[in-house]
Amino acid sequence: MTDDSDDAVWQRVVSGDARAYGMIWDRHRDRVFRHLIVRGNGAADAEDLTAVVFLELWRRRGAVRFVDGSLLPWLIVTAQNVLRNADRSQRRHRRFLAALPAPADVPDHAERIADENDERVVRLRAAIAAARPADARLLAMTALEGFTVRDAASALGISESAAKMRLSRLRADLRTSIDPQPVMEGGS
């Protein structure tokens, strides 16, 4: 007959039996977890803290105390200490963050650019919306998706020369709609 008390199982752990440590874990993890939940922790935090408790059990394996052959009281006291340490660490972290100077208010560069180009962007979107759907798809495939004209033409079921001609016309229309006043050669 074997002795299944925590004390007996722990002697096997100390002598190198990894399965015995798993028995202790299986035996007591739920109670330690519940204790940490009852103390007001969320499930994720309680899982993390339970792991820390069992890490401390392993780390201090030569100094654990048994009460009537059970490790559970030692584990519960260790859970309380681990929780206190975690709370103290969180308080220090919050104080540190509160002591940091407030970040400088930096305007978003994208918003500034959007504001400067808003009228042009609106005209560009309107021009693309007014284009034939097949031409808009061709432009999207080549300009946005990075397809070659040949691959985009093949995907759309048109010849490469037709695709080049459509893109050329669409680009000219887009240039005109974005900047309706053409720049003369040699002029400003």
Q: Residue 109: which pLDDT band, with cuts at 50, 70 and 90?
A: confident
Quick one: fold of 111-178? Arc Repressor Mutant, subunit A (1.10.10)
Beta-carbon contacts of 25 under 8 Å, excluding residues fewer than 6 positions away, are 54
**Distance between CA 23 and CA 59 in Å, rounded?**
17
C-beta of residue 149 within 8 angstroms of C-beta of residue 163:
yes
Q: Residue 1: which pLDDT band, with cuts at 50, 70 and 90?
A: very low
- Rounded to an integer, the average pLDDT of 51-56 is 95
pLDDT value of residue 2: 59
Q: Pick the more confident residue, 119 or 166.
A: 166
pLDDT tens-digit map of 160-183: 999 999 999 988 888 888 776 655
The residues spanned by each domain of the chain are: 6-99, 111-178
- How distant, in Å, are the alpha carbons of 85, 176, 183 from that of 186? 75, 19, 9
Architecture of domain 6-99: Orthogonal Bundle (1.10)
